[in-house]
């Protein structure tokens, strides 16, 4: 079974952490763009690599991916995925051109601000010390972006824990997908800290 490694209770707790994290990230994005952000209920699932890529959406579609490595008590990678057209919408709202260096760094900065807020909320709740490395953004096929991040994390593990949140910019057909991919050791740390360790 795909979820065999984590109990439902553990996944519920991780989902709740993701909920609080993405709520904070949504608030940050909202003040950045000057408009309301709608949040979906996040999902927390332990997936096989191939399933995790599939769950992220159509692999051949071109997206903007912003990656922020998280280190400290928990090692993780935060990945923000924005479909190409939606990234263009966000850049227009910010008054920059997505195909320029300025546009690229604006998207990186959005990733950075969202990840800082998300991770900051997580750190406050768990008492962890967490550091962010500089964001990197790329425009490419969704499958190439997501699979490369997963591959760098997986090592001997067959399953990846994916905390996935969808954020929608109100009034614009514009959706951002935010994923936190902790290393398996990081997940164990997180669960231990909230009293649900094995």
Instruction: Return the structure tokens found at 181.
Output: 């991919």
Q: Does 192 bind other proteins (CB under 8 A)?
A: no
Helices (H), the chain: 8-33, 49-56, 84-94, 101-126, 142-154, 184-193
Q: Does 185 bind other proteins (CB under 8 A)?
A: no
Interface region with other proteins, contact rule CB under 8 A, candidates 64-72, 105-113, 121-129, 180-188: 64-72
Q: Does 109 bind other proteins (CB under 8 A)?
A: no
139 SS3 class? strand
Exactly one of 140, 170, 185, 192 binds other proteins (CB under 8 A); that residue is: 140
Q: At what angle do helices 49-56 and 142-154 cross, to 10 degrees?
A: 150
Pairing relationship of beta strands 37-39 and 159-169 according to DSSP bridges: antiparallel
Interface region with other proteins, contact rule CB under 8 A, candidates 110-118, 120-128, 146-154, 161-169: 146-154
Q: Does 9 bind other proteins (CB under 8 A)?
A: no
Rounded alpha-carbon distances, angstroms, from residue 158 to 37, 100, 144, 182 = 34, 38, 19, 14
Exactly one of 85, 158, 170, 192 binds other proteins (CB under 8 A); that residue is: 158
Based on CB atoms, which residue is closest to other proteins, 34 or 60? 60
Based on CB atoms, which residue is closest to other proteins, 23 or 111? 111
Count other C-beta atoms under 10 Å from residue 156's C-beta. Answer: 5
Rounded alpha-carbon distances, angstroms, from residue 15 to 40, 43, 76, 144 = 12, 6, 16, 26
Exactly one of 149, 179, 181, 190 binds other proteins (CB under 8 A); that residue is: 149
Binding site for other proteins (CB under 8 A): 48-50, 53-54, 59-60, 62, 65, 67, 69, 77, 133-134, 136, 138-145, 147-152, 154-156, 158
């Amino acid at each position: 079974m795909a979820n065999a490694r984590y109990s439902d209770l553990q996944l519920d707790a991780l989902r709740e952490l993701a909920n609080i994290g993405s709520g904070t990230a949504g608030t940050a994005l909202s003040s950045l763009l000057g408009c309301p952000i709608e949040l979906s209920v996040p999902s927390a699932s332990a997936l096989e690599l191939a399933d995790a890529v599939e769950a992220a959406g159509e692999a051949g579609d071109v997206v903007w991916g912003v990656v922020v490595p998280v280190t400290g008590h928990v090692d993780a990678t935060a990945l923000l995925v924005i479909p190409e057209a939606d990234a263009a919408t966000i850049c227009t709202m910010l008054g920059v051109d997505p195909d320029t260096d300025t546009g690229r760094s604006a998207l990186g900065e959005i990733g950075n601000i969202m990840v800082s807020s998300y991770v900051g909320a997580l750190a406050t709740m768990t008492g962890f010390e967490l550091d962010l490395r500089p964001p990197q953004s790329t425009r490419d096929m969704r499958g190439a972006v997501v699979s490369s991040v997963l591959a760098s994390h997986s090592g001997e593990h067959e399953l990846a824990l994916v905390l996935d949140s969808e954020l929608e910019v109100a009034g614009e057909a514009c959706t951002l997908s935010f994923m936190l991919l902790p290393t398996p050791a990081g997940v164990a740390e997180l669960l231990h800290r909230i009293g649900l360790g094995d």
